[in-house]
A and B are shown apart, each in its own frame.
Chain A
């Protein structure tokens, strides 16, 4: 399988066209056409190049028996018995996905003293909760957790597996996926289900303004991770479904790591839970001007956040950064000031309930996702707005 070069159809002109077409500079010509290791298999040379010069030869891969894999599973992350909210959001999404194929919604829970947590998962829509409860699982240990997760995957055989893209999830999911030789798509921003049980995973790709739709057509299970605040948690309801207690054997607990100390992080800035956010970007001219935005944030009881360049400039703590390399937020209201709206930034906030954007450039991509767009200079609008708010609050 792969690209086949038909040298007999390629002259210098065709080669030049192909070389210009390749976005990754992988095509060269020295009498014969070469496709080098920079190739990312985007297949533009096949689709847009001279007819028949480069072709893509499909090779039918062996397809696993998909019908043996049944269920949409959520890895339920917990710390000290309380379930991480991202797991609840994933249960909501799992319910939607499972409705397409008529699969059950499964949850797997690993920890110690998990009775309450297991019941919570039933309340948020799990049909079956598989519980591995053992004192040795109280803290996160990579090998035992991976072994138990694998035990669940092999026994329950879920078709899709959703894991929160937390520090723990991003450590455990790839380990489990590699062990199962399964496909894994990180940081999905949209998930859909095909009737043939293929999970459609959509995420920003190539680090740029492109979305990629990814499927795992031949193997099961299909793993994906999703960040906190991308989806919404379902309504809490009366628990339905069952709790399945799984055996934790010595064998499964084996590993080479020993936990020495666990400390809770001190309370810190967390913009991902904020209900209202005022975000600033490169439209801000100096570090001192941050106080303009801070003044508005104070009036609204909002957290202040920013784009990557402002963190790189040292104006803000990295914990205030929104975007793919920062936090994902889903507030009731976000006001963006002087932010053009790169796809990396948008990926971190586009699910906000209400987006108000102020930017001088009427063509800025932020206006494509904003609900209310204001074409104007923040240096004019902001002081007037703050004065307006102050006037009325004095009345």
Chain B
């Protein structure tokens, strides 16, 4: 069985700010890290491999060259092979263009039975790339998967979270699953695997390595959505500030709660 796990490197911290004077985005100094939600997809893949015996787990990412470090981490954790699709033609991609690039990456890897993704990323927070990737590949998907209950040669049974209900369903392979946070406890990278892994163990593809890449569907050019402007969040008007000692503040707060009929 061939399992592909799609991962993303996200900023180490979520602190990107606009300088109020120059309007320039302030650089985020911290190094990137593996998207925390992807850890659950990786762990699910490793457990499936252990359960099935004969299986290969490959990881795939699209992003800048620095993302190699996150892919190496997936190898330390237990992935058999890791691939990075990296090229400036993919820059400025929205959900549509990102999932197109990943589709090309998946096709480049060849045969697969199951694709696993994290539920969402911590930087984009959209949770939309997995389902769009499935559609681009012409396969079905299930989002917010809580558990993979059964797997056999041609189907997988999963339980997924649909807010008010929990649904268990059998899906034909190949298909794509996005794994819910806390679906399992992710393992740590293994030191033994780290020592055994060469630094150049991640295969990096550029746009030139992808046959029949449609450049009009890549990056900013392939993105139907466009960012018109970015701006700091507006400040609410009409607020009232209260200062003073604890006694005074408690009094005023009490007064507000009372007059608002909250007490």
A381 at the interface (CB under 8 A from B): yes
Chain A min CB distance to B171 (Å): 5
Q: Is the CB of A346 within 8 A of B233?
A: yes
Known: A142-B142, A182-B224, A368-B235. A381 touches B254 (CB 8 A): no
Q: Is the CB of B165 within 8 A of A385?
A: no
In the A-B complex, the 10 residue pairs with the closest CB atoms: A41-B92, A380-B246, A183-B224, A38-B64, A256-B172, A384-B250, A208-B16, A178-B135, A186-B126, A23-B25
Known: A216-B225, A375-B242. A175 touches B135 (CB 8 A): yes
B175 to A, closest residue via Cβ: A256
Chain B min CB distance to A307 (Å): 13
Q: Is the CB of A213 within 8 A of B16?
A: no
B128 at the interface (CB under 8 A from A): yes
A261 contacts which of B163, B167, B223 (Cβ < 8 Å)?
B167
Measured CA separation A23–B230 after assembly (Å):
14
Contacts of B18 in A (CB 8 A): 209-210
> B215-253: which residues lie under 8 A (CB-CB) from chain A?
219-221, 223-236, 238-247, 249-253
B162 at the interface (CB under 8 A from A): yes
Chain A min CB distance to B116 (Å): 15
Contacts of A16 in B (CB 8 A): none
The segment from A99-107, A111-119, A199-207, A230-238 found at the interface with B is A199-207
Q: Is the CB of B165 within 8 A of A212?
A: no
Q: Is the CB of A257 within 8 A of B257?
A: no
Number of B residues, CB within 8 Å of A: 101
Q: Is the CB of A213 within 8 A of B254?
A: no
Contacts of B232 in A (CB 8 A): 209-211
Q: Which of A167, A265, A325 has the most CB of B within 10 A?
A: A167
Known: A256-B171, A260-B169, A371-B236. A39 touches B92 (CB 8 A): yes
B167 contacts which of A140, A173, A217 (Cβ < 8 Å)?
A140
What's the count of A-B pairs with C-beta under 8 Å?
323
A13 at the interface (CB under 8 A from B): no
Chain A min CB distance to B85 (Å): 9
Measured CA separation A218–B233 after assembly (Å):
27
Contacts of A218 in B (CB 8 A): 224
Contacts of A2 in B (CB 8 A): 91-92, 219-221
Chain A min CB distance to B255 (Å): 10
Chain B min CB distance to A171 (Å): 4
Q: How big is chain A's contact interface, by range? A: 35 or more
Known: A299-B263, A370-B239, A384-B246. A167 touches B224 (CB 8 A): no
Contacts of B157 in A (CB 8 A): 260
5 additional A-B residue pairs with CB within 8 Å, beyond A212-B230, A381-B250: A207-B10, A217-B226, A256-B140, A258-B170, A358-B253
B168 at the interface (CB under 8 A from A): yes
Measured CA separation A116–B190 after assembly (Å):
57
Q: Is the CB of A40 within 8 A of B92?
A: yes
Q: Is the CB of A257 within 8 A of B172?
A: yes
Q: Is the CB of B132 within 8 A of A175?
A: yes
Can you name 22 A-B pairs with beta carbons within 8 Å? A20-B27, A23-B24, A37-B63, A37-B64, A41-B92, A143-B140, A174-B130, A174-B135, A179-B135, A184-B94, A186-B124, A211-B232, A215-B226, A225-B128, A257-B140, A259-B169, A264-B164, A265-B163, A300-B263, A372-B242, A374-B253, A385-B254
Q: Is the CB of A209 within 8 A of B24?
A: no
A367 at the interface (CB under 8 A from B): yes
A189 to B, closest residue via Cβ: B233
Contacts of A186 in B (CB 8 A): 95, 124-128
Measured CA separation A373–B238 after assembly (Å):
11
Q: Is the CB of A26 within 8 A of B64?
A: yes
A262 at the interface (CB under 8 A from B): yes
B44 at the interface (CB under 8 A from A): no
A259 contacts which of B65, B88, B167, B236 (Cβ < 8 Å)?
B167
B239 contacts which of A182, A216, A371 (Cβ < 8 Å)?
A371
Q: Is the CB of A183 within 8 A of B231?
A: no
